[in-house]
Amino acid sequence: MPKKRPSTSRRRRRPTRRGAAPPTPVYAGTFGRAQAERLLWRAGFGPKPGQAEELAALGVRKAVAQLLEPPSQKLTGPGPVNGKGSGLFPAHVWGHDHLWWLDRMVRADAPLIERMTLIWHDWFATSRSGVPTAQLMLDQNQLLREHCMGSFAELAVRITKDPAMLVWLSGIGNTAAAPNENYARELMELFTLGVNAGYSEADVREQARALTGWTAKWRSTGPYAFRFDRNVHDRGRKRVFRKTGTYDWRDAVHLCVDHPKHPGFVVRKLWSYFNPAPPSPATERALATLYRQSGTELRPLLEAILLHPSLYEGPRMIKPPVVHTAGMLRALNRPIDTDAWVWINAQSGQQLFIPPNVSGWDDQRWLDTATWRGRWYAVSTALAPHTLNDPVAYLASIGGTETPQEAVDRALAFWGSPTLTDETRARLLTFATDCEALGNPKDKKRTHWCLRQNALRQLIATSPDYQTS
């Protein structure tokens, strides 16, 4: 009978020693502002003013190293307030949890840590729709943040006993007398191995038995006092992946992490958060070997993905709604100062702490007819404090005249001069030029150029180039 594995909370998994991992390619092209900008959007929430230029000056290796090991993990800037100007109460007021986390994204000096926390929230998707206590979700969020670039095995063990997850996937209703398969199935299908990864329905049932034993007490505000009770745990022998033992909940996790299909699954899924096209077979094999030999450590794998040429040379990716929103606010140095972001991001397709199901958000739905309206509102809401309402003052600020090209340049500078394609720039210039034919000369001096500037700012942040990275 196999010996039981100690908890990874007490044991660090040792790296394997079966030969050096094959090298993965490193981007060797130009690393200028455009490349730094893409890196900051994909491994964070876009650049703050001047940040892309600063990162570009470091070169790709040092830039990635700085994201992985940030000099500061502080939140910089004014703290968040609700629409009435008072503080947030994320554990008690509906929607304040969303605002609280969005604020962290906006003010983070360590954006990759916050972005990885978002990735794990999507990976181990847990929702307030099935967890009655907001504090449990906030506690899980902190767990994901603390382990976001550590050992995947450690993270998987901790998320398995996390109270929010135990409630969400029926872990506290899983007993020897009545095994529940919810978490056992998702542990394999969504979290560690993938669909059709060589496990059977019998494996699901046996894993459910191994996962029995967690209990909690209940009161009017929800569950509390979570603990493992051996009296309701199935202590019998289980057969999982053709191995037999008196497995418990820790063993259930390790059986999955030690499965030969696990490294490839982690590589493909983590890669997909940073690259829209799948890795080549050779790249997948090299990254899987790196992950396995590191003992399931995530930092080396993440570093290899962020340095890979595909991130800089591959196709563009659609920004998730909260990433797009946080990036605009970072660019404008605007803090969280309105409750509107809750319903706007929900309309865009992504309310934090409420993924649609255990599979997380469907990134194929980020831009469609149902969510586009929310993105438009997001831009107009971000711009609201900066709307130009005084045509005389604007006319004075531009020296009394403005060409279409100057209008476009000013609008781009307002957003920090984001990288746009020649096609988008041409369309903006066409729009600015067409505006010249509207109205009469008196209108142009009084209101026309002011309104045109407002429109150009809106069009830039809703353009295909700004919606993607």
Would the pLDDT of 5 be above 60? no
Rounded CA-CA distance 405/449 in Å is 12
Sign of CA dihedral 199, 200, 204, 206: negative
Rounded CA-CA distance 335/349 in Å is 22
Would the pLDDT of 100 be above 60? yes
Question: What would the pLDDT profile of 387-398 be if each residue is shown by its tens digit?
Answer: 999 988 998 999
Structure tokens at 444: 């142009």
Q: Which residues contact 41 (CB under 8 A, 6 or more apart)?
A: 47, 319, 323, 327, 469
CB 318 within 8 A of CB 367: yes
Rounded CA-CA distance 468/438 in Å is 31
Domain edges within the chain: 33-313, 321-467
Nearest 10 degrees: Cα torsion 150, 165, 268, 288: 40
| 162 C-beta neighbours (distance < 10 Å), count | 21
Question: What would the pLDDT profile of 211-256 be if each residue is shown by its tens digit?
Answer: 999 999 999 889 999 999 999 999 999 999 999 999 999 999 999 9
* Comparison of pLDDT for 298 and 5, the residue scoring more: 298
Only one residue has tokens 């730094």, namely 36
Burial label for 322, CB within 10 Å (0-12, 13-18, 19+), is buried
Rounded CA-CA distance 166/229 in Å is 14
Residue 19's pLDDT is 59
Q: Is the pTM of this model over 0.75?
A: yes
Would the pLDDT of 28 be above 70? yes
Partner residues linked to 224 by β-bridges = 217
Rounded CA-CA distance 184/207 in Å is 6
